[in-house]
Amino acid sequence: MHIHVYSPDGEAKFWVEPEIELALNSGLRGTELRELEHQIREHEQQIRDAWREHFNR
């Protein structure tokens, strides 16, 4: 399971399973990536639930 994050400055891909981990970064700064990871961790269950609902898994 993974998610993509897009912004005017670039984009990133984070693995959510088996654990939250940065997979790809294009143009985002370290501070932005740390904040994104924090937000993903804070909303992890909501992200997992939405992903499963979207993909019917």
pLDDT bracket for residue 57 (50, 70, 90): confident
Return the ∠ at Cα 20 (arms to 15 and 57), rounded to 5°: 60
pLDDT bracket for residue 8 (50, 70, 90): very high
pLDDT bracket for residue 56 (50, 70, 90): confident
When divided into structural domains, the chain yields a total of: 1
Which range marks the domain in which residue 11 is found?
Answer: 2-55
Sole residue written with tokens 């897009």: 6
Higher-confidence residue of 57 and 38: namely 38
Residues 6+ apart with CB under 8 A from 43: none
The CB density around residue 11, as the number of other CB atoms within 10 Å, is 13
**What is the C-alpha to C-alpha distance for residues 28 and 46, in angstroms, rounded to an integer?**
24
Write down the pTM of the prediction.
0.87
